[in-house]
Structure 1
Amino acid sequence: MTGSVPSGNLLLSAAILFTGLLPSKALRFMEHINIQTITPNTFFQHQKHYLHPSICSVWKTFQDNYFQKMVESGKDLTIGGDGRADTPGHSAKFGSYAILDLELSLVINVQLVQSNEVKSSYHMEKEGFIRSINFIKEKGLKIAEIVTDRHVQIVKYVREEMPETIHHFDVWHVAKGLKKKLTALSKEKECERLQLWIRSICNHLYWTAASTPDGNGQMMLEKWQSVANHVQNIHEHNGDLYDSCLHGPLEGIERHKKWLEPGTKVAERLSDIVMSTQMKKDVPKLSPGQQTASLEGFHSVINHFAPKMIGFSYQGMLSRILLAALHYNENGMREHASTKEGNKRFDIIFPKYKKGEYTVREVKVECTYEYIERLMNSAVSLAEEYAMNSSTVLDDQPVPPPLCSSFERPEKTRAIQEKMSRYTNRAHENDECESSECS
């Protein structure tokens, strides 16, 4: 026994949650091979009284250590932020916002927002962002630079409420939207030749940011707009800071590319995209250095612990997101694996989005799970100190009311009667229709 709880039962529940398993599947697996095990209700009682508080405790310990070190160092933060909804579309119940220290590649804060805490699902990302920023400021740290996507509400908030912070856009998010527009244009009549240039134009956007380390917005804009001339074999431009291409004279194969003809439909439509108001706003704010690609990796880890096809309670979702953060922080910067001979290992994959083109990927060393040992020790300590029915075990974090709490709940018997009578009336209507057709 661990306190008032059978030790094996507690450790089984802890292992299920801490490894990201779903209790319904894990316990059903045990039943199918005739292993006596706990019931789902027992698992949820363990989760409520011991496992949730253990996760929050270990996460808080990590945060306290991190922020203490950062305060002592006196450095300003360079962070990245991105949101994630628990379901696709605009009908999400939960929205989480994660903040990543881009220099250390550590998730330092996660905020979970339920849709009834804000006006609608669309506003969850902004609310999560504001909570994260306020949390960091309360720790006495300053944010020198922040990298996000182009969420318009967040852009406005940073501009008005954080004037001392430099706000950059992640290049991948801008390139993603650009590629969609170019692909759609290449499918129009007389624009097919653009298909050959899509990859180069997107690469040029990345080069625009990477080749301007000082973040000069005007220089980046002129570099970007030069691509409209370059694809037409025009390499002199009207910019004040960037008046000619840097590639030098083109010779051989490079000189005989399938250039776009000036004045044609495809050239004009491409120029409209390159010179659009949206690009004029976005390109000068591209991040020349740090990006938020690591946050996309963190979101894939969340998908392991909290699959989007499964509905979780608020506390259940929060715990699984924090588990994902603990796992990412321990394994996000794994070293490059080597063979026995000492050679670096690589793998060739064929991503679906590349449509047949391959990618060479580094093979990392195996993941470690030291954080699970800390979680286990914390859960056992709580079980030894508190009984299962003790209210002091419960986490004191406020939980928003369920979404259905704002609706009037009908009496169950009456609701069933209305359902049955509705089907009865429809059956009578169908019988009358069939009788009239026969007559």
Structure 2
Amino acid sequence: MAVAVPEEPSYSVPVAVAGPSQSTTGYPSSEFESSSQTSVEADDPGDDSFQPETTSSGEEEEEEEEEEDDDERFTGKVLVDEERIMSLFKFCQVCGEAILDTNVHKFYTGAQLKVKWQCNGGHKDTWRSSPDVRGMPEVNLQAAASVLFTGGTFTELSEWSKAMKLHMIGTTTFHAIQKAYLHPAIEALYQQQRNELLARVFQKQAPEDDDMWPQQLPQLLGDARCDSPGFSAKYCHYSFMLDDTKEIIHTELVQVTEASSSVMMEPKGFKRGLTVLLGMGLDVEVIATDRSPSIRKMMRIEHPEIKHEFDIWHTAKGPFITTCGFPVEPVRVTQSYCSSAGCPSFTMCVCDEHTWTEDGNTYRCCHLPISADQRRKTKWLKSDSASFRTLASLVQDGRLLKDLGQMGLFMHTGELEVFHSALLKYMPKRQHFSYMGMQERSHLAIMDHNENIVKRRQATTTGALRHKRVACRRSGKWVIQKIYKPRTTDFRHRLMDMVYERRQDPDVQYKAPTSSLDQPQPDLPPNIAQTPAPPLQELLARHMSRL
């Protein structure tokens, strides 16, 4: 088995010598002449709720006085084999006397190893592989915080620890630490950063007398992300992003029981989120969403003062159409048609017809003249072909032509899709989380996104921006790609400090209901079923396998 121990422990290590002749080597002997240290059962007097679960390989350990913990941040850790640690408990570092195996007892409190020893000379002490934070092993607190703050799950941590044969905290301890210390820390830092972002937005939208600082009303992007595809989603996250800085300013979590169906979670999240933002005082000028009929009607009736744009990217990402055996992307078709909306130039141009007569007037395409060589190499469509009819039906679609009037600002939610990909790190779709867990994990993803959205370009010593050559998988051509500096995760260090400080607060009691995050939540049923559960025997009687 393995044990995680700090690189530079600030607490006493009782044994580190090979024989009596080396009794003065290692740590100063004065560290081992103090009174006995914390035992397995010793708790912080101010935290009666903390009752660590222990496993022992020897006799029951007697209660001893607890030594005051040093007020310091987390130290580095290394993995050490249990045999290597126990081999150090052979001789006393104080007097050099031998320590019999019967006088050495080891105990585990989660990931912390405690060894109680007594030498033949009468010296005794308790060695801990990790310091305590108000009676709780620091390594237990740090293990739970590290796995959550990096987007992991306890299942992954537990399986990795079992494969490594590494002693680790249990699921009960993890969830208790998460409720009492981790979720409140995440919410506190998220609200702090969100308030700072809102302050900058309010400063921009406030009217200024100076012409050098004109008023800038916020323009938002909105899009939803469900926890599973299809019509069986349980949760829906609707996020609002600032169009200028691409920072997430607000997010709403909707459970399917709050809406009539999983499809209606998106408009409900949009409505609730926009109501919150407007209630804060944001004077939203423009908001861009997908072409959802429910959101379109909501904006037209309830918020006519806000300009509603449609996401050009959602419109253009439909299936490819094929002309003459070559795929044509709808985005190019849409952009080309937008440039000549209301005239037949596009559908005629693809057939190599660049002039036409309308109402007695002759018109021509606005592009440059096509050379004979270009005309010969281009694969033109025939006006009576199936490919041309498919293309014409696409660009002349009535709904598309109607919606073009709400795409004039060319706003898109591509960066929101990037954020949704980042959400998969913190909220994988293959695993279920509670409502509170989904909410706080989304806040972690937002803090990660907002910290790194302003990508910092790498430069050479002369100041030139760096690039790299990349082969495009689709076209097979070589292209240039920008090189950015590595991502930063400063928010995790701040979260670790807040967790440490929260554990040191005597008013925060471990496993106490008052220590959990007190956030207003919608009135949710215990499960998403609409009818009470029938008796188990009744379900077994009518169960029928599909095979």
- TM bin, normalised by shorter chain, reads 0.7 to 0.9
Residues 349/329 of structure 1: CA separation in 2 closer, same or farther (3 Å cut): farther
Q: Quick check: 1:337–1:363 contact (8 Å CA) kept in 2?
A: yes
Q: Are the counterparts in 2 of residues 115 and 121 from structure 1 also a CA contact under 8 Å?
A: yes
Of the three residues 533, 536, 544, the one matched with 1:409 is: 533
Question: 1:148 is matched by which residue type in structure 2?
Answer: T
Q: Which residue of 2 aligns with 1:9?
A: 140
The answer as to whether partners of 1:169 and 1:285 remain within 8 angstroms in 2 is: yes
Contact 1:147–1:287 (CA<8 Å) still a contact in 2?
no
Distance 1:31 1:404, change over 3 A: same
C-alpha deviation, 1:344, in angstroms: 1.5
Q: 1:347 Cα shift?
A: 4.8
Indicate which of 165, 168, 177 corresponds to 1:34: 165
Q: Give the whole-Å Cα distance in 1 for the aligned partners of 2:149 and 2:449.
A: 13
Residue 227 of structure 1 aligns with an amino acid whose one-letter code is F
Distance 1:54 1:347 in 2: 42
Distance 1:311 1:326 in 2: 22
Q: 1:345 aligns with which of 457, 467, 472?
A: 467
Q: Does 1:365 align with 2:485?
A: yes
Offset at residue 371 of structure 1 (A): 0.7
Q: How does 1:121-132 map to 2 (within 5 A)?
A: 121-132=262-273
Compare 395-404 and 273-282 and name the one that shifted more: 395-404
Quote the offset at 1:244 in angstroms. Answer: 4.2
State the partner residue of 1:379: 499
Counterpart CA distance in 2 for 1:150 and 1:358 is 36
Q: Quote the RMSD (CA, aligned, Å).
A: 2.8
TM-score, normalised via structure 1 length: 0.82
In 2, Cα distance between the equivalents of 1:148 and 1:174? 11
Higher strand share: 2
Q: 1:208 to 1:63 in 2, by over 3 A?
A: farther
What secondary structure is seen at the aligned counterpart in 2 of 1:222?
A: coil
Counterpart code for 1:206: Q
Where does residue 70 of structure 1 map in the other structure?
201
Shift, 1:87, TM fit: 0.4
Cα deviation for residue 239 of structure 1 reads 9.1
1:283 aligns with 2:421: no
2: CA distance, partners of 1:239 / 1:317:
59
Match of 2:515 in 1: 393
Q: Say whether the 8 Å CA contact 1:5–1:388 is kept in structure 2.
A: no
Deviations 1:331-390 (CA, angstroms, capped at 9, x unpaired):
122123345674512352545xx4867765433210000011121122223222201133
Letter in 1 for 2:423: I
Partners of 1:411 and 1:12 in 2: how far apart?
Answer: 41
- Deviations for 1:112-169, whole angstroms, at most 9, x for unmatched residues? 1000000000011111111111111111111111111111111111111121112222
Match of 1:142 among 263, 267, 283: 283
For 1:133, the equivalent position in structure 2 comes to: 274
Name the count of aligned residue pairs: 397
Alpha carbons 2:423, 2:445 under 8 Å: kept: yes
Q: Which residue of 2 aligns with 1:316?
A: 437
Work out the CA distance in 1 between the residues paired with 2:311 and 2:383: 32
| 2:184 is equivalent to residue 53 of structure 1 | yes
Q: Aligned equivalents of 1:78 and 1:237: distance in 2?
A: 41
CA contact (8 A) 1:95 1:113 kept: yes
Identity over the aligned pairs, expressed in percent?
27
Counterpart amino acid of residue 63 in structure 1? R
Q: Does 1:245 find its partner at 2:365?
A: yes
Q: Which has the larger radius of gyration?
A: 2
Q: 1:321 corresponds to which letter in structure 2?
A: S
Distance 1:364 1:86 in 2: 30
CA distance in 1, matches of 2:255, 2:358: 48
Which structure 2 segments of 5+ residues have no match?
A: 1-131, 207-215
Q: 1:340 to 1:307 in 2, by over 3 A?
A: farther
Task: Tell me the equivalent position of 2:382.
Answer: 261
Q: Specify which structure has the bigger relative contact order, considering alpha-carbon pairs within 8 angstroms and separated by 6 or more residues.
A: 1
> AA paired with 2:335?
Y
Q: Could you tell me how far 1:29 is from its partner in structure 2?
A: 1.1
Inter-CA distance 165–379: structure 2 relative to 1 (3 Å threshold): same
Structure 1 residues 422 and 124: alpha-carbon distance in aligned structure 2, compared to 1, 3 A threshold? closer
Q: Which residue of 1 aligns with 2:419?
A: 298
1:85 and 2:207 correspond: no
Q: State the distance in 2 between where 1:11 and 1:271 align.
A: 61
